[in-house]
A and B are shown apart, each in its own frame.
Chain A
Amino acid sequence: MLLPVKWLKDYIETDKDSRILADGLTLSGSHVESIINLNKGLENIVVGKILSLEKHPDADKLTICKVDIGKEVLQIVTGADNLQEGDYIPVAAVGSKLPGDIIIEKTNFRGVDSFGMLCSLKELGYSDNVIPKEMKDGIFVLDNEYPLGENIVTIMGLNNDVIEFEITPNRPDCLSIIGMARETSATFKIPLKKPIINIENEVEDIKDYVDSIEVPSNNCNRYYARVIKDVNIKPSPLWMQTRLMEAGIRPISNIVDITNFVMLEYGEPLHAFDLDKVEGKKIIVREAKEGEKILTLDEAERELSASDLIIADEKQPIGIAGVMGGFNSEITNNTKIVLLEGANFNQRSVRLTSKRFGLRTEASTRFEKGIDPNLSQIAVDRVCQLIEEIGAGVVVKGDIDIYKDVKKETAIDLRPNRVNKLLGINISTEEMISYLNGLGLESRLEEDLIKVNIPTFRLDLKIEADLIEEIGRLYGFHNIESKPLIGTLTRGEKPYGRRIEDRTKNILQGLGLNEVMTYSFISPKAYDKIKLPEGSPLRKYIMLINPLGEDYSVMRTTLIPNMMELLSRNYNRGVEQCSVYEIGNSFISKSLPIEGLPIEKKILSIGIYGNKDFFDLKEIVDKTLGRLGIKEIEYIREENNTSFHPGRTAKLIHDGEEIGILGEIHIDVLENYDIKERVYIAQLDFNKIVEKTNLEIKYKPLPKYPAMMRDLALVVNENILVGDIQKIISKHGEGLIEKIELFDIYTGDQIPEGMKSVAYSITYRSYERTLRDDEVNNIQESIIKDLENTFDAKLRS
């Protein structure tokens, strides 16, 4: 919302400067986004009058002008072709300044000296989108005679500011100059001077001009119309044009400008139809027929649907209600009779239609937030008054007003002690009443209650708390003295699962892994990229109805795609190694199509590459789980997961329950992600980890007796797993084996083809006594015997 300060001051008598107004209004709830000074850097631009125009002798497109600027007559060469002798125009003489620090110098155009330049609106600092179309390329011609040599900044009011506000959606009434004036009045305790609407001269009768107005649709609560005759279309006066431009609206012609002016003034969007072009002189407010077409003011043909509310005449649509008028009934230079519309269209209907057409206009943005239906009449009458004042036409007597659900003032009871209690302040009832009255909410004390009258322009005030807010914001939240919380004493804590999560993250960081974070939604193609088989349950993903493109269109059921993608990004950006983890949700639907909320299953996802192998990842997983008290994990070979290398992948089993998978990523998947290095990924069910975590630690005494070491070197078939050998070693330990360490594994020279050599160092220790050689030797022997029997192992000497 753009508020030209000069305009505001028409209704609020104050000499406060823009900064003070802006700060005050911000603290009372109208957030100022910026203060814009209209003078974008003009210096010494003055009014001049064209005395003569003469073609340049050597250049067809140039004109030599003699311009009177009061104290002297200048010769200026211009390329513009919209000038006539006697025109008053802005002149930048040599030495004057234009926006962008452009200093005007004497120039020579093909042998003719030019002592300055004539300015367009753009050169005066107006932006393209508010400059009237016919003035786009030409010099700006003033609407009247002004004193020659007078500063243009004064004449056009460029020494003023415009304050830009962010208006919250609950306050559509503030999308108007009067609305903001009301806020200013309440904030600074200055009386509000609203315009007094008075039409001097009304002739004939509207019934002579309009056949009928019908409103069959439920989406139009009010339609108020008046007629203007003897319309004289021409540009509106400069003061009105500059106001519109300052507020961000392009001037068009007097009638249209006045409707826009009043829209800005009151916040009620209005429309003017050329009544001669309305077939049958009938206005029908109805839903469009499916496929019906309309050419809108922006000269685009739009196909309507049955949910669009339109204004139609006997034959065809002549406007999209609350969004944009139709081209066929547009005001043109030949318009003689005008029908003025002040209507109240349904918020939702306007919003949906405007959205469907991608057509957001000053009107639609106001309608979709909700407008007081009582404004329709006030605003149209105000237009009539201005038309009369400017002399743009003659007002026809009477109106047609179809008003279904008449909006009336309401009342809310307010408990003064509730105000103080909720805000934590202590102010008097009188002070409360004065704040409310300042906002135009007539209030009075009746016994213990403040009876507050709610005018229809405050559609947002519905309950007591709303009024407490009004008092609070005018008292100033910044004036509320802070007070410590009292009440029930509570102990702050994190849920157990979150504490385990924090602990897990600390362990992983200690192991050198960085934490990553990826989107919860992925591309459905990702499931192909990780080679998930067709029937996999992980393909039962949840889809978004309205995704932001395919890449973010389905909820992830696995964290592998996100992990691969980020590792690939790092790899392809030349990052040599990466070790990362993420703890994030996967989303598993109980049924598809989805019924009720899905299961959000937390996954610990780990990914590493760069001079790494399977065992690096396994160690990370093992140590992390170990530190969480999850020990004795069994690793079972997993050959059927198609995302992974079949020979280098394991399932993790704990206590008979699968808790995850880890392994090397399949080379096909690596290719899909454009990675030319081995990648290792683990996916662990974090909910199960939390369940299984055991943080209880029991101290075990330090050993008092010496250990005995024995080495064991064997040759076995290369397919025998060391994990299985270790199981046999442990089995015979009689509780005396403290540690089994695999210190060498070897294939090659001196070892037969298909075999491998494995060497263990076994530490024996008792916590009760010193071990004897012979008992350890016995154990060793039984181990060896078992290994020979079970795996056909040969002892290596």
Chain B
Amino acid sequence: MKENMRDKLLEIKEIALDRIEKISELEEVEQLRVKYLGKKGDLTSVLRDMGKLAAEERPIIGQVANEIRDELEDAIASVKGKLTEELKRNRINKEKIDITMTTNKKKLGHKHPLLATIEELEDLFISMGFSVVVGPEIETVENNFDALNSPENHPSRDLSDTFYITDDIVLRTHTSPVQIRAMKEMGAPLRIVSAGRTFRFDDVDDTHSPMFHQLEGLVIDENINMANLIHTLDIFIKELFGDDMKTRYRPHHFPFTEPSAEVDVTCLKCRGKGCTACNFTGWSMELLGCGMVHPKVLENCGIDSEKYSGFAFGMGIDRITMVKYGINDIRLLFENDNRFLEQF
């Protein structure tokens, strides 16, 4: 009886192992497991006859049966593992895609290049301790000209230079009136920048637009001098255009500063080597205007010009934006062609 049972068990094992080895589909694995190892499986049904064995034979057969069960389970696990692995590999192999394709479903908005430049410049000055202030686009003649020491007969006041709303109200021709407002409201000391829209009677062409943009800065304190002005603007220009930038401070004339200077910087196109863009001078001309605040302007705003001195600077953002991105026509900035905007 004992031998008979052992033989049966061994036979089941042989057949089972043979079939397990031949499995090719993952589903079959479970079927075979149930068939041989399940509650109603072959192995179990043989073991049901265990009761018929002598008591001392039971542990021996039991041990054999356990060994066979272990062996079959291992075989099943290994086949299962192998097939699962194969299945994954097949899936991966089949799932190859053309990674050069793009769908372009996501849209990310673009900043306007000029407004982005303003933001960049403002941030730069903020990091240098300047505060941003804002002022209106429509200004009084008083703030736009008179308080800035602009001579009464100055051609810039003409109808052919400035847009008038009434005799006393204009579209501001520069951001400088914001300085006047800031000085009157906040007094000294002061460290501010202001950027925004400005307007002049210029017909539209490649480099002119009746509306354009400026950024203007002002520092008022005791003992402020021209050397401080140069230091501040040099830092700013290097930050904006690169460490290899050189500057050249050229005497110039503005009614609201004295002394006044224009700042040339290394030509951005040739980096100073000389090219057609800079007329072979190596300098990009007139990027900024600056100077020490005219004592009359300080006095006009109620600041003691003996105690305090200050410097101011201003620049055309449209030009800086154009130079920076190589834009050759100012109209592009105001046309808002989507294909232009999406380049920035």
List residues of chain A with CB under 8 Å of any chain B CB.
Answer: 26-29, 31, 34, 168-171, 347-348, 351, 355, 368, 421-425, 463-466, 468-469, 472-473, 477-478, 480-495, 497-498, 502, 505, 508-521, 542-548, 552, 555, 566, 569-570, 573, 575, 578-580, 585, 587, 593-594, 597-598, 600
Contacts and interface: CB of A to CB of B under 8 A. Distances in A.
B234 interface: yes
A515 B112 contact: yes
B223 interface: yes
Contacts of B199: 520
7 contacts: A473-B251, A485-B224, A492-B127, A505-B111, A548-B201, A570-B336, A575-B338
A96 B333 CA distance: 50
B124 to A, nearest CB: 10
Contacts of A598: 138
Contact of A515 (B109, B210, B261): B109
Interface in B162-181: 163-166, 169, 171
Contacts of A495: 132-134
Contacts of A520: 137, 171, 197, 199, 211
Interface residues of B, number: 86
Given A469-B258, A509-B108, A597-B169, A487 B221 contact: yes
B114 interface: yes
B250 A519 contact: no
A469 B108 contact: no
Given A483-B227, A594-B169, A472 B253 contact: no
A465 B295 contact: yes
Contacts of B292: 422, 465
Residue from the set A34, A168, A477, A585 with the largest chain B CB neighbour count within 10 Å:
A477
Contacts of A587: 137-138
A268 to B, nearest CB: 20
Given A515-B341, A594-B169, A480 B134 contact: no
B259 A493 contact: no
A690 to B, nearest CB: 12
Nearest to B233: A482
Interface stretch (B10-18, B66-74, B152-160): B152-160
Given A465-B259, A472-B259, A518-B336, A424 B227 contact: yes
B79 interface: no
B110 to A, nearest CB: 5
A580 B336 contact: yes
Contacts of A511: 109
Contacts of B210: 519, 521, 548, 552
A510 B134 contact: no
Given A477-B261, A575-B339, A594-B165, A488 B189 contact: yes
A498 B258 contact: no
B136 interface: yes
A26 B249 CA distance: 10
B131 A490 contact: yes
Contacts of B249: 477-478, 480
Contact of A483 (B221, B225, B342): B225
Closest 4 CB pairs of A and B: A424-B227, A512-B107, A29-B251, A424-B225
Nearest to B232: A485
Contacts of A512: 106-109
Contacts of B333: 517
A490 B253 CA distance: 30
Given A351-B153, A543-B165, A594-B165, A491 B228 contact: no
Contacts of A505: 111
Contacts of A465: 258-259, 292, 294-295
B251 to A, nearest CB: 3
B214 interface: no
Contacts of A484: 228, 231
A494 B121 CA distance: 12
B125 interface: yes
Interface in B291-326: 292, 294-296, 309
Contacts of B138: 542, 555, 587, 597-598, 600
Contact of B112 (A28, A485, A516): A516
B58 interface: no
Given A485-B231, A513-B109, A421 B211 contact: no
B227 A31 contact: no
B111 A482 contact: no
Nearest to B126: A492
B230 interface: yes
Given A512-B108, A597-B169, 18 more contacts: A29-B252, A171-B253, A351-B153, A424-B226, A463-B258, A463-B296, A472-B226, A477-B226, A483-B227, A487-B223, A488-B221, A492-B132, A514-B109, A515-B341, A569-B336, A569-B337, A597-B138, A600-B136
B224 A487 contact: yes
B128 interface: yes
Contacts of A31: 250, 252, 262
B222 interface: yes
Interface in B215-245: 219, 221-228, 230-232, 234
B226 A544 contact: no
Contacts of A168: 252-253
A498 B296 CA distance: 31
A348 B154 CA distance: 9
Nearest to A494: B132
B258 A468 contact: yes
A466 B258 contact: yes
A208 B310 CA distance: 62
B191 interface: yes
A182 to B, nearest CB: 15
B171 A544 contact: yes
A180 to B, nearest CB: 15
A552 B227 CA distance: 43
B131 A573 contact: no
B278 interface: no
A478 B109 CA distance: 43
Contacts of B253: 168-171
A486 B110 CA distance: 39
B137 A600 contact: yes
Q: Residue among A31, A482, A483, A600 with the most chain B CB within 10 A?
A: A482
Given A170-B253, A587-B138, A487 B259 contact: no
Nearest to A472: B259
A579 B110 CA distance: 10
